């Protein structure tokens, strides 16, 4: 494979993974606060429809993103009210909303199926940075504004999580909410806020599908990506940087599937469509099984300990647990 072709595959992988980056970061923020938003699949699908319809109606792609973010935040608000205030099962609420939002997207979006609409401007090279050998053409030449916003979101979220007092509080309310409350933090209000922020990012992810990656709207336009986002958050150990890497890995699998489809035209196209999802789940299973421990046992002690700490992660201790704030 020539270097130019490899560069195109990698750049395509980054662009195709960008919607998942927004979804994974949003879910990571939500779950770090101790709330599980399992409505991701329906939220992304409904917001993809809303974003496309709003952008087409207003003839403004950015208003489409704003509308999608608001709808995503409202869905997350329902999750937060049911989980935090009513203290109902977060899993049940999420599943019901996922099904409801998926069906709503099909019903409300029916008049807009397969019609043209506005899209994000396709290419926005960054001066100076685009001239860096290999890295420049890969990260700063072929991307659009949304791709660069994804980079900024990853960096900002990681910095907030691990280098600010607000991030420390966020992790505290997901790990030990009683201790955070004892230190004067309003756990309930903070969980509401972070759940809504996470939902807004999922809404942006939905609009990123219909206004950029898979421009337009059709029935089940983003089918499966919400569930993949939830799986990547686990794979990423509730760390924004690792979750983003998982999203880019999925984008790479999609790009390789497209290349394989061109190289093997006799193979049914459904195989290449499903392959990235299957491979991603396989990676998740392998990295969570005893097989990984056996493989690590062959490494030197220091390397084994370092990799084990990186690969083995635990969810926030209070994830999914209601909190009584007196």
pLDDT in tens, 27-85: 999 999 999 999 999 999 999 999 999 999 999 999 999 999 999 999 999 999 999 99
Model confidence pLDDT, tens digit, residues 244-290: 988 998 888 888 887 777 777 777 666 767 777 777 777 767 666 66
Categorize the per-residue pLDDT at 110 as very low, low, confident or very high, splitting at 50, 70 and 90: very high
Residue 25 makes CB contacts below 8 A (sequence gap 6+) with 153, 154, 157, 201, 240, 243, 244
What is the average pLDDT score of the chain?
87
Q: Alpha-carbon dihedral of residues 22, 242, 261, 226, nearest 10 degrees? A: -40
Q: Give the DSSP per-residue string, 33-51.
A: TT---TTHHHHHHHHHHHH
| pLDDT reported for residue 287 | 65
The pTM of the full predicted model, rounded to 2 decimals, is 0.90
pLDDT at 149 over 90: yes
How many whole angstroms separate alpha carbon 255 and alpha carbon 7? Answer: 11
The per-residue pLDDT for 284 is 67
């Amino acid at each position: 494979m020539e270097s130019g072709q490899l560069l195109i595959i990698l750049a395509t992988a980054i662009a195709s993974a960008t919607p998942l980056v927004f979804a994974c970061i949003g879910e990571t923020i939500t779950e770090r606060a101790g709330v599980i938003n399992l409505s991701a699949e329906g939220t992304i699908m409904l917001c993809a429809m809303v974003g496309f319809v709003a952008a087409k109606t207003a003839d403004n792609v950015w208003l489409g993103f704003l509308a999608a973010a608001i709808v995503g935040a409202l869905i997350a608000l329902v999750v937060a009210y049911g989980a935090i205030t009513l203290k109902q099962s977060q899993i049940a609420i999420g599943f019901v909303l996922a099904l409801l939002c998926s069906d709503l997207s099909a019903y409300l979006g029916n008049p807009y199926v397969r019609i043209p609409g506005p899209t994000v401007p396709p290419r926005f090279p960054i001066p100076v940075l685009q001239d860096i050998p290999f890295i420049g053409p890969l990260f700063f030449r072929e991307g659009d504004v949304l791709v660069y916003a994804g980079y900024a979101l990853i960096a900002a979220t990681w910095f907030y999580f691990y280098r600010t007092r607000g991030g420390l509080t966020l992790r505290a309310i997901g790990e030990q909410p009683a201790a955070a409350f004892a230190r004067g933090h309003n756990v309930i209000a903070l969980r509401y806020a972070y759940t809504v922020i996470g939902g807004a990012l999922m809404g942006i992810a939905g609009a990123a599908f219909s206004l950029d990656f898979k421009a337009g709207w059709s029935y089940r336009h983003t089918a499966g990506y919400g569930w993949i986002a939830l799986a990547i958050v686990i794979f990423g150990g509730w760390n924004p940087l690792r979750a983003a890497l998982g999203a880019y890995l999925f984008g790479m699998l999609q790009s390789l599937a497209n290349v394989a489809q061109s190289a093997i035209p006799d193979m049914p196209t459904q195989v290449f469509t499903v392959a990235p999802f299957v491979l991603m789940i396989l990676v998740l299973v392998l990295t969570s099984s005893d097989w990984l421990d056996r493989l690590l046992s062959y490494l030197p002690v220091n390397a084994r300990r370092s990799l084990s700490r990186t690969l083995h992660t635990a969810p926030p201790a209070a994830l999914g647990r209601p909190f009584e704030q007196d």
